[in-house]
Structure 1
Amino acid sequence: MADYFTITRDLAAPRELVFEALTKPEHFGVWFGTAAVEVPQDSLTMDVRPGGAFRAVMLLPDGNRIDWAGEYVEVDPPAHLAMTLTDNPDEYAGLPVLFDLEDVDGATRLTISQDRAGFSDEQVAATIAGYNAFIDDIDRVVAGMPRG
């Protein structure tokens, strides 16, 4: 049985915009890299449909790179996205990371859930910190997106 940890934050944007930030390369590359890491647009493959491929490269400030890969498992705009995600593309990616978006008082509640899959408590804490940095940048991305 999966043992998920979750991160939940409210963003001051309609969930359609938040879902777009999660699924459009021009927005995804901004928040996935955060302010400190470059994700070149030409490294992104985002076939956002069940069974579609995901690939991205992170270029780290120290000169290293991380190759990410995954597959979209569930796509239910603008409420839910489930995708596998691994920085070791040659191995099993594990259970999907879940992105759930809920309308809450004129905002969007974004909940990200990931199976801890053998992570130590320190690795879970570092992953949560990373997701919080992602969400900070998603918030900045959607703040700059045009509203209906």
Structure 2
Amino acid sequence: MTEYFTLTRTLRAPRELVFDALTRPEHFAVWFGTAAVEVPQESLVMDVRPGGAFRAVMVLPDGNRIDWSGEYSAVEPPSHLAMTLTDQPDGDAGLPVLFDLDEVDGGTQLTIRQDRADFTDEQVAATIAGYNAFVDDMERVVEAMTGA
């Protein structure tokens, strides 16, 4: 049985805009890198449909890069997105990552679940910290989309 770790946050925006931030390259490139890392929009491949490919490059402050890849497995606008994700694109199919968007008072509750696989507790904590940084920047993206 797959064990997932979970992050849940509420964003002050309609879930359609949050879903757009997850699936449109011009928004994704901003929050996926966070303020500290560049994700050149031209590096993105986002074929957002079941079976569609995902690829992105993160350019780190020290000049190193991380190549990401995956495949979308479920696309149900504006409530659910599922994909695999790996930073080892030449030899790893990636781990399942699920995004669920629920309408709540004041905005959208975003729940991100990722397969724990063989992650140590420290790796889980670091990944959750990374997702929190992503969502911090995603919140700024969706606020700009709403004009708030």
- Could you tell me the TM-score, scaled by structure 2's length? 0.97
Paired with 2:52 and 2:141, the residues of 1 have a C-alpha distance of: 24
Paired with 1:120 and 1:57, the residues of 2 have a C-alpha distance of: 25
Identity %: 78
Write the deviation string for residues 8-58 of structure 1: whole angstroms up to 9, x where unpaired.
000000000000000000000000000000000110000000000000000
Which residue of structure 1 lines up, in the alignment, with residue 24 of structure 2? 24
Letter in 1 for 2:60: L
Paired with 1:64 and 1:25, the residues of 2 have a C-alpha distance of: 22
Which residue of structure 1 lines up, in the alignment, with residue 101 of structure 2? 101
Structure 1 unmatched ranges of 5 or more: none
Q: CA deviation at 1:91?
A: 2.0
Root-mean-square deviation (Å):
0.9
Write the deviation string for residues 107-148 of structure 1: whole angstroms up to 9, x where unpaired.
10000000110000000000000000000000000000047x
Which residue of structure 2 lines up, in the alignment, with residue 45 of structure 1? 45
Number of aligned residues? 147
Alpha carbons 2:56, 2:69 under 8 Å: kept: yes
Alpha carbons 2:86, 2:95 under 8 Å: kept: no
Q: CA deviation at 1:90?
A: 1.4
Q: CA deviation at 1:96?
A: 1.6
- Could you tell me the TM-score, scaled by structure 1's length? 0.97
